Chain A
Amino acid sequence: MAANVYKPRKPYRLSKYVFIFAIAFLFMPLAVLVAYSFNAGKTMAWHGFSFVWYEKLLFSSDELWKAVVNSLIIALSSAAVSTVIGTAGAIGVNWHQFKLKTYVRGATFLPLILPEIIIGVSLLIFFAGIGIHLGLFTIFIAHTSFNLPFVFLMVLARLEEFDYSIIEAAKDLGARERDALVKIIIPISRPGIISAFLMAVTMSLEDFVITFFVAGPGSTTLPLYVYSMIRFGVSPVINALSVVLISGTILLTLSARNLLKYIADR
């Protein structure tokens, strides 16, 4: 009988609308920002299409570019150092038995949970206490320390799916600890290490709160600079800068994905 034929209801109509709404909610502000970066006028009224703010960004924003360079130096150096330390830590914690191991692992979660402002304040007190002048170096130390747990946990996650018998096989075939580390452990966990590094770069680039506390005169990073600009009213140069950053991030994400895929396929 036709009445008994099962007809599926039109599926997911509600969830479709929720999805569209969520996407709109996430990306509308960005779209507005992108649009206004091409606005010829300085107010929210539309004065016609122009590249004037991009010109200004490129040719008359020396301070801003200094901040960008500072940010890049800090991001790359702190990411590199925290990747090395975090990877070494993860390897040690994963394969070596020692007392307090669970506490060490637990402690690494702490900086992820603690409010950034507390980390910022405590770092400031620490630097003041040992008498280091605030500047690029203190920012570098601060960023390295808050990147560490992320790198540690990401590499550890990769190591946990590591089949230990592979290391035993390497030793069985004549590898010493160091050979096993260099020829087996690091190459196999390379995708994890690289994504941890990229993650660290990103987090360092965008950090504001902690940097705000430990930055000194002449060591302004990009987020700090943007913040200081906003205090004198929203300049459309920031819109232009944001568009550049957004495009940069999208490019980086895509290339990182391809890079990781390339590494994984090799």
Chain B
Amino acid sequence: MLRIIAGFENPDAGAVSIDDIDILPLPPNRRHANTVFQNYALFPHLTVFENVAFSMRLKRASRKDVQLKVSDYLHLVELDGQADKMPSQLSGGQKQRVAIARALINEPSVLLLDEPLSALDAKLRQHMLIELDSIHDKIGITFIYVTHDQQEALSVSDRIAVMDKGNVLQVGTPYEIYESPADIFVANFIGETNLFQASVKAVEGELVDLEVPELGDIRVTTTCPVSVGATVNFTIRPEKIRISRAQPTLASEYNILQGTVEEPIYTGFQTKYFVRIDGTTTMKIFKQHINYTDEGPDIHWKDSVYVWWHAEDGYIVEDRPQ
């Protein structure tokens, strides 16, 4: 899709416009969109300075303008003092910054980023993500950011389009995408979840009673219309499920199940549990360790536990309209 916006490929159908101008007839060099390539695509024979200055030189900008603007943009991406280095002398993160500065100096209306962080190691990726976000705040233009990393997508986006095999499945804010996924693919792709098929037993306003073969009867609220007897998909996010060895006393809007801990994975700030429910299915449950005295780390392998969640926390996912 980025290649279509940038002009390297032509779409079979549809339109692309920037600032209400149809850009499809324009060649790449005349579009107000610049790309940060996945492999950086820096010019290996030019210094960092000349890489960034490339588009200005093409426009025959004056020597003074080039000098000023390039140092401005190198400052923006925190590469002061690296101007005379060759791309081969830079680290991955630095190359990425050069690529960003080079694309931004053209003052495009849209910056296209093609998995810009995929070649960096995890820690650097986190760092660059924050950098990108702050650059975005400073420049204020539209960034179109393609990524396979849903964490990356959720953390930097104002709006996300989830795509599968060329089709846009859902467009929305990160919050909408995460909490109200439009279909099973989105629910599964963004974040982790527990997903079950269920049939509707009773509907009472927004409160729905489901029969989930693996879990038994489940109560859930929904805003979309469902009819008794219909087959639906039921999903519950792991972090919304509570877990304890002692049996809690709960109101009827809660769902409560019994199970055995199959695999506790302690990661410091939280523990992930895989809990086998009644010997039939496994559910993922994440428990945040909010207090030092939390029970979390004390729930061990093979312990019998109770897991519960409020009906509001469950969610009915629509089937993808075929």
Q: Do A and B bind each other?
A: yes
CB of A172 within 8 A of CB of B43, answer no
Q: Which residues of A contact B33 (CB under 8 A)?
A: 172
Within the complex, what minimum Cβ distance (angstroms) separates A167 from chain B?
9
Q: B28's contact among A166, A168, A183, A190, by CB below 8 Å, is which?
A: A168
CB of B58 within 8 A of CB of A165, answer no
A-B contact count (CB 8 A): 64
Q: B45's contact among A165, A172, A266, by CB below 8 Å, is which?
A: A266
B205 located at the interface, meaning its Cβ lies under 8 Å from any Cβ of chain A in the complex: no
CB of B39 within 8 A of CB of A172, answer no
Within the complex, what minimum Cβ distance (angstroms) separates A177 from chain B?
9
Contacts A168-B8, A174-B55, A174-B106; is A163 near B39 (CB within 8 Å)? yes
Contacts A173-B102, A187-B45, A188-B44; is A168 near B55 (CB within 8 Å)? no
B228 located at the interface, meaning its Cβ lies under 8 Å from any Cβ of chain A in the complex: no
CB of B45 within 8 A of CB of A188, answer yes
CB of A172 within 8 A of CB of B34, answer yes
CB of B39 within 8 A of CB of A175, answer no
B37 located at the interface, meaning its Cβ lies under 8 Å from any Cβ of chain A in the complex: yes
Q: B58's contact among A169, A175, A266, by CB below 8 Å, is which?
A: A175
A176 located at the interface, meaning its Cβ lies under 8 Å from any Cβ of chain B in the complex: yes
Q: Once bound together, how far apart are the Cα atoms of A163 and B30, in whole Å?
A: 22
Contacts A188-B44, A188-B45, A266-B45; is A174 near B29 (CB within 8 Å)? yes
B35 located at the interface, meaning its Cβ lies under 8 Å from any Cβ of chain A in the complex: yes
Within the complex, what minimum Cβ distance (angstroms) separates B71 from chain A?
18
Within the complex, what minimum Cβ distance (angstroms) separates A161 from chain B?
11
Number of residues from A at the complex interface, CB < 8 A: 19
- The 8 A CB mask of B52-87 against A (1 = contact, 0 = none) is 001100110000000000000000000000000000
Q: Which residues of A contact B28 (CB under 8 A)?
A: 168, 171-172
Q: Once bound together, how far apart are the Cα atoms of A101 and B33, in whole Å?
A: 33
CB of B45 within 8 A of CB of A173, answer no
Within the complex, what minimum Cβ distance (angstroms) separates B179 from chain A?
37
Contacts A170-B54, A173-B102; is A165 near B34 (CB within 8 Å)? no
CB of A172 within 8 A of CB of B44, answer no
Q: Once bound together, how far apart are the Cα atoms of A141 and B184, in whole Å?
A: 70
- The 8 A CB mask of B101-116 against A (1 = contact, 0 = none) is 0110010000000000
- State which size class the interface on B falls in: 20 to 34
Q: B54's contact among A163, A173, A188, by CB below 8 Å, is which?
A: A173
Q: Once bound together, how far apart are the Cα atoms of A179 and B54, in whole Å?
A: 11
Q: Tell me the interface secondary structure of chain A in the complex.
A: helix
Within the complex, what minimum Cβ distance (angstroms) separates B317 from chain A?
38
Q: Once bound together, how far apart are the Cα atoms of A220 and B303, in whole Å?
A: 98
B41 located at the interface, meaning its Cβ lies under 8 Å from any Cβ of chain A in the complex: yes
A112 located at the interface, meaning its Cβ lies under 8 Å from any Cβ of chain B in the complex: no
CB of A173 within 8 A of CB of B103, answer yes
Q: Which residues of B contact A179 (CB under 8 A)?
A: 58
A184 located at the interface, meaning its Cβ lies under 8 Å from any Cβ of chain B in the complex: yes
Q: B37's contact among A168, A190, A266, by CB below 8 Å, is which?
A: A168
Q: Once bound together, how far apart are the Cα atoms of A179 and B57, in whole Å?
A: 11
Q: Which residues of A contact B103 (CB under 8 A)?
A: 172-173
Q: Once bound together, how far apart are the Cα atoms of A172 and B23, in whole Å?
A: 13
Taking CB atoms and an 8 Å cut-off, the chain B residues in 1-58 that contact chain A are: 6-8, 27-30, 33-35, 37-39, 41-45, 54-55, 58
Q: Which residues of A contact B38 (CB under 8 A)?
A: 165
CB of A165 within 8 A of CB of B29, answer no
Q: Once bound together, how far apart are the Cα atoms of A40 and B30, in whole Å?
A: 75
Q: Which residues of B contact A176 (CB under 8 A)?
A: 29
Q: Which residues of B contact A183 (CB under 8 A)?
A: 54
CB of A170 within 8 A of CB of B6, answer no
CB of A169 within 8 A of CB of B41, answer yes
Q: A166's contact among B6, B8, B43, B58, by CB below 8 Å, is which?
A: B43
CB of B34 within 8 A of CB of A173, answer yes
Q: Once bound together, how far apart are the Cα atoms of A171 and B55, in whole Å?
A: 9
Contacts A174-B59, A175-B29, A179-B58; is A169 near B35 (CB within 8 Å)? yes
Counting chain B CB atoms within 10 Å of each CB, the highest count among A172, A175, A179, A184 belongs to A172
Q: Taking CB as reference atom, which chain A residue is nearest B34? A: A172
Q: Once bound together, how far apart are the Cα atoms of A171 and B38, in whole Å?
A: 16
CB of A173 within 8 A of CB of B55, answer yes
Contacts A174-B106, A266-B45; is A169 near B37 (CB within 8 Å)? yes
Residues of B within 8 A of A (CB): 6-8, 27-30, 33-35, 37-39, 41-45, 54-55, 58-59, 102-103, 106
Pairs across A and B, CB under 8 Å, 5 listed? A168-B6, A168-B41, A172-B103, A173-B106, A175-B29
7 more A-B residue pairs beyond the given contacts A165-B39, A173-B106, A174-B106, with a C-beta to C-beta distance below 8 A:
A171-B27, A172-B35, A173-B54, A173-B55, A174-B55, A175-B54, A190-B45
